[in-house]
Every structure is written in structure tokens, then in C-alpha cells.
Amino acid sequence: MNDFITKDTSVRTLIKQVIRLSIPAILAELTSVVMQYIDSAMVGSVGKHAIAAIGLVSTSTWLTGGLCISAAIGFSVQIAQLIGAGKEAKARDVMRQAIVISLIFGSLLSAAAASISGHLPAWLGGEKNIHADASGYFLIFALTIPFEQMRMLAGQILQSSGNMKTPSFLNIVLCILDVIFNFLFIFPTRTLTVPLIGISLKVYGAGLGVRGAALGTSLSEVCISALMMYFLLFRSEKLSLRLGGSWKIKRQCLSNAVRISLPAAFEHTATCGAYVAATKITAPLGNTAVAANSLAVTAESFCYMPGYGIGSAATTLIGQCIGAGRKDLAKKYAYLTIILGMSVMSVTAVMMYFAAPFMFAMLTKSAEVRILGTKVLRIEAFAEPMYAASIVCSGVLRGAGDTLAPSIINLVSMWGVRITLSLVLIKSMGLTGIWLAMCIELCCRGILMLIRTAGGKWLSRKAVT
């Protein structure tokens, strides 16, 4: 049994366990954000049209990514609960079934995404001068979805087994590789002067622009997917293939996966569908607004990624506690992770508010984009504490297998509040109105998630057996 399922339930001991699991995930998320900044700055140096092309389809990539993570959650929650209950042999069987089913699902999703890539920019209402780049970017991304699916699956399963360090480290490497490949594929061959030394070096590059950014991301995805699967299948102390198991698809496992994944997929679809709708609402405002919106989302990730790291830790802690029958401990871990998440994101929100102009100065040379992006990003800073509540509460509920309630909350909040308010406020406030609507919606979502978690119904969920 894992050491965080302990008889010592003092607050001090539990906080240590939460921090121990959270720190690797938070560091990985923060590193990811830093690399996103570098990534965006690389594309931004090409021009605002390049940023707009990627920004136009970015919400669609989030949608497919959300479906991939939903499929992974359906199996990782089962594995967390089975390990918590000491049923590691059965957990290994679930892992093997997860690999087979996820490969099939990822391939089908890839084919579907690739088939719409040529039409997507027009459907989203983007300006014609960015259609070709946006379509090419999304097609390359679509062809890599099976690898993204397997990376997410392996990472989620490793985390559910209590191993936060390996997937966190590999996600850091993913970001580093993305920057390296982008450096090679986005820019043409050029001569660079090494600072201080003054030596000029010829650096070869493909000069593919927006498509180069997609290719760089895709190649890094392929590399880390292979490494993530290697560590899961051959190095995991609890789930390695050498420990034995069955590849046979069992009805109970598939039924549990569908029960957990379907609401999660519905949640991501509702959320990302709203993001797509928001993109379509934003597109008519022009490339400057689309670019500012895209870069503001990247800049904001500095603030909310620590929350996702803590949310991942919460899922592992709650899942294994529920599996072990320690509902009392699960409740304590839930409250501690929520408090920690809200505290951390409150601090980063203050930092983001004051650092917004400098953040945009690093991301783009366009003065118009910098001014507008800074304005909307500062609006969003006020929503971050409640955004943290929604992120970590979702992780808590997910660990218990309660994925339906969060999906309903997200549907009502995103479409009933954000999209509705955006349609009203954009008429008089433009992009500022859209981000004000986002700020109000995140506060509403956080409150609803806190109410659901405090109600305690998730504690009555039956663990996987």
C-alpha cells in the first residue's frame, strides 16, 4: 500500500504528501508554459498572421486533446482505485486493455480530424489569407493524434500508480524537444552571431513557418510517446509487462471505462466546443484580435498550469484512497488540494496582472497585439482563484469516478454564461467583452464545483473492483 494512504492523518503529514505528489506535476506544467512562451515567440516573429493561423485552429486541437485525455481517464481512474485496494494484478489487466482500446480510438479520431482539416478554417470564420496555413497546421496535428493519445494514456496511468516524477520529467523533455524542432523547422537557413564570443554560425532550417511549428510539435509528440510507453511497459514497479497480465478485452473493464470516460468526454466536448464557438465569435474582429486572443491564452497558462498539476495529484490521491476504502482520508486530501490550488493560483494571478505588458513584449513585436492582449489578460487575473477551485475540484471528483457532475457544470457554465455573455458584450466591447464574459464564467464555474465537492456525494461512489 502506498505511503500516502496512512494512519497518520495529521494536517502536517497530509500536506507533505500532497506537496510531494504535486511538485513534479507543477514543475512539468510550469516548464510547459515557459516552452509555450518560447514557441509562441518563435511563431510571433514570423508575423501576426502566423499567430492568427495557429490561434484559429488551436481550440480545435484542444477539443481533440480533450477527447484523448477523456479516454485515458476512463482507465487511469480504474487503475488508481485497484492499486489503492491492493489489486495490482487486475490493474495490470486494465492497463493492457487500455492500450488496445486507446490505439483504436486514437486512430479513428486522427482520421476524422484529418478529413475536416481542409474545411476547418472556413468553418471557423477566419480571414482567407490565413486559411492555407491554418489548414496545414491542423492536418499535421491530426496525423499525430494516435501518439498524443498514447502519451496521455501512459502518463495518466503512471500518475495513477503514484509515479508523478517520470511523466512530469518526460513532459518537460517534450517541451524542450518542441522548441528545438521548431527552431529547425520554422525558420529558413540563416547566419547567427553567438553573443559575447562574436562568432558567426550558419544554422540550417527548413523555413516552413506555421507548418514547421506543427511539424516540430508532432515530432516531439512521437518521441515522448515512445518514451512514455517504454517507462510504463518496462520500468513501472507495479504495472510492467514482465509482471504478467491479460490482453483480453473484458466487458466489466470496458463498461467502467465508458461510465467514467463518457461524461469526461462530454465535459471536454462542451468546454472545447465553447472555445471553438468563442473563436468563431472572435474571428470577425480581425487578425489582430485573433492573435491577441491566442497569445493571451498562452500567457494565462502561466497562471493556471500549477492548478492542473495539483489537480493531477488530487486525482491520484483520491482514487487510491477510495480504492483503499479510506473515505475519511479522501475528504481531507480533497480539501487540502483545493486550498493549495487556490492559494498558488491567487499568487500567480497577482504576478500575471503586473507582468502582463512584459509577457506580451516577449511574445510579439506587434504593438496593437501587445496593447489589446495586456488589457484582456489583466481582466482574467481576477478569475484565477475560482478557476483554481474548478480545476482541483474536477481532479478530486475524477479520482472518485464522479465525472458526470463536472460535465454538467461545465456545459451549463460555458454555454449558459460564457458564450451567452460573449455574444452580448462583443457588440460594445469587442475582444474585451469576450474576456470579461470568460472571467465571470470562471467564477461561476468555481463556485458550482466547490458546492458539488463540499456536498460530499462523490464519497459515496462505489470503487472499481
Reduce the secondary structure of 259-272 to three states and give it as a string.
HHHHHHHHHHHHHH
For the chain, percent of residues with pLDDT exceeding 90: 45
d(CA 222, CA 210) in angstroms, rounded, equals: 19
The single residue listed with the C-alpha cell 490521491 is 317
What pLDDT sits at residue 194? 67
Backbone angles phi, psi at 192, to 5 degrees: -115, 145
CB contact at 8 A, 464 and 401: yes
For the chain, percent of residues with pLDDT exceeding 70: 93
Q: 172-176, 349-353, 461-465: lowest mean pLDDT where?
A: 461-465
Identify the DSSP state of 5.
S
Task: Average the pLDDT over 280-303 and give the result.
Answer: 84
Q: 100-104, 190-194, 210-214: lowest mean pLDDT where?
A: 190-194
Average pLDDT over the chain, rounded to whole? 87
What are the CA-CA distances from residue 465 to residues 85, 89, 97, 220 (Å)? 8, 12, 16, 37
In DSSP terms, 192 is beta-bridged to: 201
- Coil, helix or strand at residue 192: strand
Task: Average the pLDDT over 150-179 and give the result.
Answer: 89
d(CA 42, CA 47) in angstroms, rounded, equals: 10
What pLDDT sits at residue 371? 92
Taking alpha carbons only, the member of 7, 78, 25 closest to residue 314 is 25
- Strand bridging mode 200-206 / 188-193: antiparallel
First-to-last C-alpha distance (Å) of the chain: 16
Q: Over the stretch 28-60, which tens digit does the pLDDT of each residue have? A: 666 656 655 666 667 767 777 887 888 788 878
Asked whether residue 142 carries a pLDDT value surpassing 80, the answer given is yes
Cα 326 versus chain centre, distance: 29
Angle at 164 between CA 235 and CA 151, to 5 degrees: 65
What pLDDT sits at residue 5? 62
Task: Average the pLDDT over 437-453 and give the result.
Answer: 95
Asked whether residue 1 carries a pLDDT value surpassing 60, the answer given is no
Asked whether residue 264 carries a pLDDT value surpassing 50, the answer given is yes
Taking alpha carbons only, the member of 331, 332, 309 closest to residue 391 is 309
Taking alpha carbons only, the member of 447, 76, 463, 421 closest to residue 277 is 421
Taking alpha carbons only, the member of 377, 409, 379 closest to residue 393 is 409
Identify the DSSP state of 458.
G
What pLDDT sits at residue 266? 82
How sure is the predictor about 364, in pLDDT bands with cuts at 50, 70 and 90?
confident
